[in-house]
Amino acid sequence: MNQQRQDPDFTLVTTPQAVPLAPDQVVNEAKQAFSAQGAVVPATPLDRIKQALTKVQNSIRQEQMSTEKSLQSTLSQATTYVNSSQTVDQISQLINQIQALSQQATDIQTNSPQISQLVDQLLCLVVDQHTSLDKQVSQSLQQAVSSLSLAQSAMFQSQSFAEAKQLLSEFKKTLQDLQTPTRIIQ
């Protein structure tokens, strides 16, 4: 029921007057406004329970993803340690071979090409192991930061579970109150 008056210089638009809302309508509109802004206002104990359970469920999902990520990291770290151990074993074997080929001065002269080849292999393994250890240092530092983040996340999850516990206790009390018949004093 907008009324418009056309005039060459301006257009006037009028709107109908707002109708006063009943108190329940005001509450519902306020809830919708808060919900639209992202804040959910639980109206009943059941709504609070549902909200708490949703938080707990989200926390459990985060914990599950965190655990899977930690497991993957641990498996990756174990693989790195196995590879590192194998490389150290190879280095040890090469050193033993070089020692065996160079027991005496005459052996060194005779076995010089072979010893040189083993030293080159040894050098490659040492460089690879050094690079691998540098990566392990970096990964360990990243894991330390990640562990701090996981600790903080666990604290927040613990708070969510404590809140859910409190809300469930309140809900249980409300149920008990509803089940207890009230006496009418006459």
Does residue 19 register a pLDDT over 50?
Answer: no
C-beta of residue 34 within 8 angstroms of C-beta of residue 40: yes
- Of all residues in the chain, the percent with pLDDT exceeding 90 is 20
Taken in order 138, 141, 145, 151, the sign of the CA dihedral is: positive
The pLDDT, as a whole number, for residue 86 is 94
- Which CB contacts under 8 angstroms, 24+ apart, belong to 68-73? 70/150, 73/143, 73/146
Mean pLDDT comparison of 3-7, 82-86, 108-112, highest-scoring range: 82-86
User: Identity (one letter) of the amino acid at 57?
Assistant: Q
Give, for 43, the enclosing helix (H) or strand (E). Answer: none
Cα gap 30→21, rounded to integer Å: 12
Task: Domain ranges for the chain, please list them.
Answer: 49-162
Read off the pLDDT band of 16 (50, 70, 90): very low
Tens of pLDDT, residue by residue over 37-96, are 455 566 777 787 777 778 778 877 877 887 888 888 888 888 988 999 999 999 999 999
